[in-house]
Amino acid sequence: MEEKVVLSSILRKFTIQSLQTREELQPIGELILRPEKGILIKLERRETS
């Protein structure tokens, strides 16, 4: 539950943008499909009104 609260707070306060294209990501087929080397993202603070 705590993880959901933290993620919700991040999504409300920041715009998230991937720094890689889908073609650059190498998925690993395990029980859960995930990228081989992680995903690089850019967080940009949202403007408050």
- C-alpha 41/C-alpha 48 separation (Å) is 21
Spell out the domain ranges in the chain.
2-45
Q: Return the pLDDT at 6.
A: 93
pLDDT value for 30: 78
CB-based contact 35:28 (threshold 8 Å): yes
pLDDT tens for the chain, 49 residues long, are: 799 999 999 999 999 999 988 888 887 887 887 888 888 999 999 987 6
Alpha helices in the chain (DSSP H): 2-13
Per-residue model confidence (pLDDT) at position 49: 64
The sign of the dihedral angle between the CA atoms of 42, 18, 26, 31 is positive
Report if pTM > 0.75: no
